[in-house]
Structure 1
Amino acid sequence: MLLNLQYTKDLSFEVPGAPEIFTTLREQPRIDLALDVQARPLQQGGNVYEVALQIRADAQASGPDGQSQTAFIAELVYCGIFTLNVEQNLVEPLLLVECPRLLFPFARNILADVTRDGGFPPVLLSPIDFVALWQSRRGPEAGQQPVNA
C-alpha cells in the first residue's frame, strides 16, 4: 500500500447564528459527529483508489430562552490517493480500515483548527476504531458481496 497524495476535497464551516451566538453562548456546545468512509477506483481494473474520510460536526447550544440553537456546522471530506498491490481479498479491508486510519490524524487536525479559528473551542476527535466501523458496514451480508471499492 502506497499513499500517493492526500488533500482536502471539501471543507465547510458555518455559524448560522453569528454574531449573536457568541454573546449568548454560556457553555460548551454539544457536538454530534457523523463519520463515513468511501472508496472508489480511479481507473477501471486498476490498483489506484481514492479514499474519502467524511466528517460532519453539528454543534448545538442552549440559547438564552433555553431553546437549542445551532452553534456551528463543520463538514470535511479529506481524501487520499492510494496504490494497492495486494491480493483481491485484502483490498476492501485496506481501503476501509488502513487507508482511513492513515488519513484520520490529518483530518482531525483540520477539524480542530477550523472550529478554533471559527471562534469556538476546538473539536478534538477521539481515535476511531475503523475495524469496527468497517464490520458494522458489512452487516449480515458480510463476506457475500465485495464493496465497490
Structure 2
Amino acid sequence: MAEETGDNQQPQQPPQQNQQPQIRLNVQYVKDLSFEAPNAPEVFLKQNEQPKISISVDIDARRIEGNVFEVVLKLDVSAKRDDQPVFIVDLAYGAVCTMVNLPDEQIEPACLIEVPRMIFPFARRVIGDVTRDGGFPPLLLDPIDFVRLYQQNKQRQQATQQQQGEAEN
C-alpha cells in the first residue's frame, strides 16, 4: 500500500479577480405603461377580423454615476382595424445595470444592444399581459434584432451629421 503525502499538491494561488467584461442587471422595472381601448366595447364585436399591428421601438440610455447606467426600452404598439384603433399600448421598460470591465468604446453598444436584448423578454411579457387583461388575445411580440436597430440608428445619425456638414459649407 502506497503512502499518501501532501507533496504532490499544487501550491494554491490567490484567487484572481474576474477580469471578464460583465453587464450586471441590478433592477428591472416598468417605468411607464399605458393601455387604451378607445373604441371599446364596440371593438369586441368584430374580433373575428385580425387587426393590423404596428410597433415602434426606441432605446434610451444614460449614465447614472460611474459605471452604472439606466437603459429604457420603449415599445409603442397600436392595433387598427379599418383605420379604427383597436388598442394602443405604450411601455417604457427600464433597467439599471452596472458595466464591469467594459472598455469605453463598448459601453454604448452594451447599453443599446445587449441590455435591451436581456430585458426584452420581460417587456414582451408585460405587453402580452396587458393586452390579455384588456380583453384581447395576448400579443406576443416577435424577437427584435437590436444589432440591426443599432446599426440603422448609427447610419441615420451619420447621414444627418453629413447633411448638416454640407449645409454649413
TM-score range, shorter chain: 0.7 to 0.9
Determine which of 144, 150, 155 is the counterpart of 1:139: 155
Q: Is the 8 A contact 1:29 1:60 kept in 2?
A: yes
- Counterparts of 1:2 and 1:25, CA distance in 2: 42
SS across alignment from 1:7: strand
> Paired residue for 2:134, among 118, 121, 125?
118
Q: How many residues align?
A: 136
Distance in 2 separating the partners of 1:88 and 1:60: 43
TM-fit CA distance, 1:18: 1.1
The answer on 1:5 being equivalent to 2:27 is: yes
* Cα distance in 2 between the residues matched to 1:108 and 1:38: 17
1:40 aligns with 2:62: yes
What 5-or-longer segments of structure 1 have no aligned partner?
63-67, 145-149
Q: Partner residue of 1:81? A: 96
Distance 2:68 2:125 in 1: 26
Q: 1:147 corresponds to which residue?
A: none
TM-score by length of 2: 0.76
Higher mean alpha-carbon deviation, 131-140 vs 88-97, is at 131-140
Cα distance in 2 for residues equivalent to 1:2 and 1:21:
43
In 2, the alpha carbon distance for the partners of 1:123 and 1:75 equals 13
4+ residue runs over 6 A deviation: none
Alignment RMSD, CA only? Answer: 1.6
How far apart, in 2, do the equivalents of 1:139 and 1:106 lie? 28
Superposition deviation, residue 21 in structure 1: 1.2
Q: Which has the higher contact order (CA 8 A, sep 6+)?
A: 1
C-alpha offsets along residues 63-96 of structure 1, whole Å, 9 cap, x if unaligned?
A: xxxxx21101001010100111211011011000
Structure 2: which 5+ residue stretches go unaligned? 1-22, 162-169
1:127 partnered with 2:134:
no
**Aligned residues: percent identity?**
49
1:92 is matched with which residue: 108, 123, 141? 108
The answer to whether the 8 Å contact 1:42/1:49 transfers is yes
| CA drift at 1:26 | 3.3
Does structure 2 conserve the Cα–Cα contact (< 8 Å) formed by 1:39 and 1:52?
yes
Larger Rg computed on CA atoms: 2
Q: State the TM-score, normalizing by the size of structure 1.
A: 0.86
